[in-house]
C-alpha cells in the first residue's frame, strides 16, 4: 500500500513540475513589435527607379534571364537560411544567393526546393550606395 501512495505522489509531482516547466517556456512576445519592425524596413527600402538596370528584373526570373537582362554581377554571396536546419523540412528557400551590383543594389535568388539549384529571383533591393 505504501508503494502505491509514493508512486501517486511522485507522478503528481512530476506532472506539476512538467506543467511549470512548459509554462516557463511559453512565449509572451508582443506581435506588434514584429509589425513595427516590418513597417520600418518598408520605409527604408527604396523603390527601383525606372532608369536603373534593376528595373528590368522581376521576381520569378531565373539566373540566366537576369544575366541576359542586366549582365554579370560584380559580386556573388551565397548562404543557407534558417529553414535549412529544420529537420524533415523539404520545402524551398533553404539557400539564397545575392547578386551584388555596384551603385545599383542586389538581386536575391532562392531555391524552389531543398534539392534544386534552379534558383529564382525572390527579392530586389535597390541601394545606390552599394559598394
Whether residue 122 is contained in a domain is answered as yes
Whether residue 1 is contained in a domain is answered as no
Q: What is the pLDDT of residue 102?
A: 93
Whether residue 36 is contained in a domain is answered as no
Mean pLDDT calculated for residue range 74-86: 94
Q: What is the pLDDT of residues 115-126, one digit of tens each?
A: 887 999 999 999
Cα distance between residue 121 and residue 101, in whole Å: 15
> What average pLDDT is seen over the chain?
83
Q: Which domain holds residue 106?
A: 52-131
C-beta of residue 73 within 8 angstroms of C-beta of residue 101: yes
Cα distance between residue 44 and residue 126, in whole Å: 11
Q: What is the pLDDT of residue 14?
A: 77
Cα distance between residue 69 and residue 53, in whole Å: 8
Q: What is the pLDDT of residue 77?
A: 96
Whether residue 81 is contained in a domain is answered as yes
Q: pTM of the prediction?
A: 0.65
**Among 129, 104, 122, CA closest to 49:** 104
Whether residue 76 is contained in a domain is answered as yes
Amino acid at each position: 500500500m505504501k508503494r502505491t501512495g509514493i508512486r501517486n505522489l511522485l507522478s503528481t509531482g512530476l506532472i506539476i513540475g512538467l506543467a511549470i516547466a512548459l509554462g516557463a517556456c511559453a512565449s509572451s512576445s508582443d506581435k506588434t513589435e514584429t509589425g513595427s519592425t516590418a513597417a520600418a524596413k518598408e520605409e527604408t527600402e527604396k523603390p527601383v527607379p525606372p532608369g536603373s538596370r534593376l528595373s528590368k528584373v522581376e521576381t520569378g526570373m531565373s539566373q540566366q534571364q537576369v544575366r541576359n537582362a542586366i549582365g554579370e554581377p560584380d559580386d556573388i554571396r551565397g548562404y543557407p537560411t534558417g529553414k535549412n536546419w529544420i529537420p524533415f523540412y523539404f520545402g524551398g528557400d533553404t539557400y539564397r544567393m545575392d547578386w551584388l551590383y555596384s551603385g545599383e543594389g542586389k538581386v536575391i535568388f532562392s531555391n524552389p526546393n531543398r534539392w534544386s539549384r534552379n534558383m529564382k529571383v525572390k527579392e530586389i533591393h535597390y541601394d545606390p550606395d552599394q559598394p
